[in-house]
Amino acid sequence: MSADNTIAVASFPTKQGREYRVAHVQAIENCYDDEGVPQEIVDAHRFLYFGGRDVFVTPDKEKALLEASRIYEEIMSGPCPVVEYGIAIYDFTRPLVLFDRKKLDSILDRDRRSQVTSTLQQTGWIIESAACLNQSVPSYYEALRIAPTLVGPKSRWARIRHAGTSVIRAEWRYTHGCVARVRSRR
C-alpha cells in the first residue's frame, strides 16, 4: 500500500506577488486543476490542506522551504518515517479561495458521497467510518481484516457496504492496544 504523502510547498498568486504555505499532505492530486472535477471541489481541497498554514510571502520563499525541511526531518525521526514524494513545490495559478467551516464541510461531504458511489460501482466493497474517508477493498474478508487498522484506535466500529447488498456493521474490541476480536452483523 502506498503512503501517497508529500511535504507540499504550495505557491498561490496574490496582488503583491506570491504566498507560500507548507503542509504535510496525502493525496495532493485533490488540489490539481482537472477538467473532470468541479472547481469548487478543487478549491475546497486546497483550502482544507493549506488554509490554516503559516503564510510566507514572496521574499520569504526560502523560509517556506526551511519549514518544509523541518517538517520532513520531524517525520523522518518519528515512529513512521515515510514521505513517499519528499518535498515538492506546487505553483497554483489561482489564489487560495477562503471558505467558512460550514460551506467547506458541505462541499467535501458532497464530494465524498460521489466518490463512494463511483467506488462501489468499480470495486464492490467499501469501508465507511467517521474516523477515515471511505476506503475500497477487494473482498469482504479483507474489509473485516483491515477496518480496525484503517479507522484507528479511537473507533470501535465501521460500516462495510457492497453494491447490491445491505450494510454490514463490523465491531471489534481492543486488548492491550491490539484488536482482540472482530464480529459483523447486518
Residue 36 and residue 67 in one domain: yes
SS3 124: coil
Q: Are residues 66 and 131 in the same domain?
A: no
The residues near 140 (Cβ < 8 Å, ≥ 6 apart) are 125, 160, 162, 168
Model pTM? 0.63
pLDDT in tens, the chain (186 residues): 577 889 999 999 999 999 999 999 988 988 998 877 889 999 999 999 999 899 999 888 999 999 999 999 999 998 888 898 999 999 999 999 999 888 888 888 777 666 644 444 444 555 555 444 455 555 556 666 666 655 555 566 666 666 555 566 666 555 555 555 555 555
Q: Is 45 exposed, middle or buried (0-12, 13-18, 19+ CB in 10 A)?
A: buried
- Residue where a domain terminates, one of 99, 126, 146: 99
In a domain, 110, yes or no: no
What gap in Å lies between CA 76 and CA 135, rounded to an integer? 26
Angle at which helices 101-123 and 39-50 pack, to 10 degrees? 110
Question: 68: domain range?
Answer: 5-99
Q: Cβ distance 59 to 115 under 8 Å?
A: no
Q: What is residue 120's predicted lDDT score, i.e. its pLDDT?
A: 42
Give the chain's domain count: 2
Report pLDDT for 101: 86
Query: φ, ψ for residue 185 (rounded to 5)?
Result: -150, 155
**Domain membership flag for residue 112:** no
